[in-house]
Amino acid sequence: MRLFQRAALSVLALALVGLPAAVSSPSVAAVSGAAVTGVPCLKNTAATARAEAPKWRRYADTSAVTAKDLAALPAAETRRSVVNREVRPSLAARITLPVYVHVIKGKHRGEKNPAGRTRVRQLIATLNGGMAGVQSGYSTPLRYRFALKHVDYTKNDAWYHAYLFGKRDVQAKRKLHRGGPRTLNLYISGGGPRGTPILGWARFPWQYAAAPKLDSVSVNVAGMRGGSARGYNLGDTVIHETGHWLGLYHTFQGGCGGGGDLVADTQAEAEPSFGCDVSRDTCPADPGHDPVHNFMDYSLDACMMLFTPGQVQRIDAAFAKWR
């Protein structure tokens, strides 16, 4: 069924292709403490000025990436030779991480029971499938699996509609967070204020030390399998956001110049993909087309289906260093 949905939606994807206009929200910078001179998340081009991103993708899903963030895990530490020699011998072939799922309930219609235990288990299964590479034979499997430890439910309308990294979001996470750096705290909510939804957001692993209680992944219930986020409701948001939690940037990080996402085998990308145009090439000087099938782009769920070997190397290095 999953493969059938993806095949059918790939046709829809071509009709829904949008052009990027995503920007980091003011509250993201305020909470993260990122300087105005921080490294931009994507390159602003004429195309971005001419069109709007889909409503689900209008805001960045991480804090603004700064030079300090980029220095936390430089590319030199994620080269294959270094990772194989210095990192992987210390990692188990399979690493299973506990997951505490915190379901926030709102007070309006459709918000009072956003995700029962069956949907929660489906979400964890989708996450583990992405880690295992089941969606594509071209995806590099990861060693990480996630085991559901506990599900709790909290009725709080303010938290349900909390803005990413905003005051209410911080309150919820400081109250509900469980475990340490190797525990995934997964929050399911309405994904921001009504009318300005966000599919999800996450923290990077090197941010744990400064704010352990905020270490988390958040997923909008609309982006879960069968949710109301048309084109983004096969559940891949949890894979994308957990990719950030494990240490990955967006494939369009830094645009066409510089080190980009600090992964050597993801093609440079000037701006995010909001569809599934496989011929797209926003950085002609870089060999190859845009990585629209990569889990760390903004493509529709029908299109997102793989991690590269370089991304897996980076995740292993980040896990060993920061988790």
Total domains present in the chain: 1
Q: Is residue 286 over pLDDT 70?
A: yes
Cα(323)–Cα(319) distance, integer angstroms = 5
Q: Is residue 6 over pLDDT 60?
A: no
Buried b or exposed e, range 20-41, using 16+ CB within 10 angstroms: bbbbbbebbbebbebeeebbeb
Q: Is residue 14 over pLDDT 70?
A: no
In the set 111, 241, 269, 271, the catalytic residue is: 241
Q: Is residue 3 over pLDDT 50?
A: no
Please report the pLDDT score of residue 25 as a whole number. Answer: 30
Cα(65)–Cα(249) distance, integer angstroms = 9
Cα(48)–Cα(35) distance, integer angstroms = 23
Name the band, by pLDDT with cuts 50, 70 and 90, for residue 17.
Answer: very low
Please report the pLDDT score of residue 171 as a whole number. Answer: 97
Q: Which CATH number fits the domain that encloses residue 56? A: 3.40.390.10
What average pLDDT does the segment 268-296 reach? 95
Told to judge if 111 belongs to the known catalytic residues of this protein, a careful annotator would answer: no
> For the segment 23-79, what is each residue's pLDDT rounded down to a tens digit?
333 233 322 333 222 223 333 443 443 354 788 888 889 999 999 999 999 999 999
Which range marks the domain in which residue 314 is found? Answer: 2-322
> For the segment 152-200, what is each residue's pLDDT rounded down to a tens digit?
999 999 999 998 889 999 999 999 999 999 999 999 999 888 778 899 9
Percent of the chain with pLDDT over 90: 74
